[in-house]
Structure 1
């Protein structure tokens, strides 16, 4: 076993991206953690490191463009296919870091990115853990976003997010909310890609998820071609790895142990 750690800004596609890469276990897969619409490396807390150590897998976690310590987005206006573009960017990052055996753990937006990446770039992807991913737009998703927009106006949400994103908060919040609530985005759907996924998949969802129904889970596992498992946790919302940390951790650890 060796310890090789990168925790620094690297350039990918001429963009400065903050990366933490722990390559500790030779010959073992690397778990890639993909954060949600308002997330970053820091907001994962100790979940990635604990899972890496428990499964004896390497670990890569990074701030997507616009988030955390990475470069700002050039504009908050996103194209409808921005998640597909994020998957393309992730593939470039994996090539640059020479990660050939990736297990993707994606939360919300990150889960959608994981699915798209596995569909478009299957050679590097060994398995996927999707947590509260979206494959199409639902009314419950839009209601949840409108509630978040109201909270942003009436509470100190922006101030709390600024601890992690600095002066990039308004841009990332608009990028999330204005994209998803736009008329163009209502037709966004990646179900057509799912048949290209042949690796094992674990889909984790809170039964009380304020941003998505169980249709997201069931329609995903019914369309992919790899082996599938699902964990639906009662009374839990959009972030099972925080709200039901132990249950999510154990299910993920068992899944990774089987597929690695």
Structure 2
């Protein structure tokens, strides 16, 4: 018998279906872990991490493509400036209702980390733990510089094919949704402070010390402003994707955070 059961799901919303996938250990304990992807991400770009996480923690792991990303339906129009806080009442809520889970753990990478905080704030009785990885807590100069560099790289011949592989015809929208929102005047004052003040559960903020999209000020702000207990894990010589660069360290940190007896 394989160690995990893997299922695909289609989640109905008023704007089209979301694609989701789950990894369930045959022996499991604890609330499921829901993964929220980054600004250019999708289920497929988590690669082997969900399976590794499910195995390490002994919990079901659920990942989904937000509307406009991956295998989900296109987003109707442009992404609004309040898209980070909106996700808790949009795709995440639909996922939770249709997969029928109450208690949950939420793990978000990059902008998905901000959305994870929003989900914990929106459902304080149901969220048991929140994990942010390389999350932004405010609009930092380093974040904007990293986005401008990435935009220039995607303008080079053949580079958009990297996004089209995962997002198909939606690839241009995905790139513009990221770049245009973060570089806009309307988004310049965005910060996570209000959502953090409503998080009651334990929070773990994971960050690489060489993250090109955010300094240590981001996880420090997350840990300082959350209303619940919080801890930091700064990974040395690590960039923006710790779960790909140092998966063993991330898995160990998350497993110990969710089940201290394993530490």
TM-score, normalising length from structure 2? 0.92
**Corresponding residue of 1:245:** 247
* Alignment-derived partner of residue 232 in structure 1: 234
Deviations 1:195-235 (A, max 9, x none): 21111111000111111111111111111122211110122
1:42: Cα distance to partner?
0.7
Is this contact kept in 1: 2:87–2:115, CA < 8 A?
Answer: yes
Question: What do you get for the CA RMSD once the two structures are aligned?
Answer: 1.9
| Ranges in structure 2 where 5+ consecutive residues have no aligned partner | none
**Equivalent position of 1:124 in the other structure:** 126
CA distance in 2, matches of 1:4, 1:204: 28
Q: Which residue of 1 aligns with 2:218?
A: 216
TM-superposition CA deviations, 1:127-146 (whole Å, max 9, x none): 01100111210111110000
Number of residue pairs aligned between Structure 1 and Structure 2: 258
Give how far 1:23 is off: 4.3
The reply to whether residue 86 of structure 1 matches residue 87 of structure 2 is yes
Correspondent of 1:102 among 101, 104, 108:
104
Give 1:26 deviation, angstroms: 6.0
Query: CA contact under 8 A between 1:198 and 1:226: conserved in structure 2?
Result: yes
Partner residue of 2:158 out of 125, 133, 156: 156
The residue that corresponds to 1:45 in the other structure is: 47
- Aligned match for 2:115, one of 113, 117, 129: 113
- Of 208-217 and 244-253, more deviation after overlay is shown by 244-253
More moved, 152-161 vs 36-45:
152-161
Q: Do the aligned partners of residues 155 and 52 (structure 1) sit closer, same or farther apart at CA in structure 2, a change above 3 Å counting?
A: same
Q: Is the 8 A contact 1:127 1:259 kept in 2?
A: no
Corresponding residue number in structure 2 for 1:12: 13
Q: Which runs of 5+ in 1 are unaligned?
A: none
The aligned residue for residue 188 of structure 2 is 186
Q: CA 1:250–1:124 in 2, change beyond 3 Å: closer, same or farther?
A: same
Q: Could you give the per-residue CA deviations for residues 106-144 of structure 1, whole angstroms, max 9, x where no partner exists? A: 000110000011112112211011001112101111100
Shift of 1:27: 5.6
**C-alpha contact (below 8 Å) 1:8/1:18 kept by paired residues:** yes
Secondary structure, in 3 states, of the residue corresponding to 2:168?
helix
- What is aligned with 1:28? 30
Which of 53, 66, 69 does residue 67 from structure 1 map onto?
A: 69
Q: 1:47 to 1:253 in 2, by over 3 A?
A: same
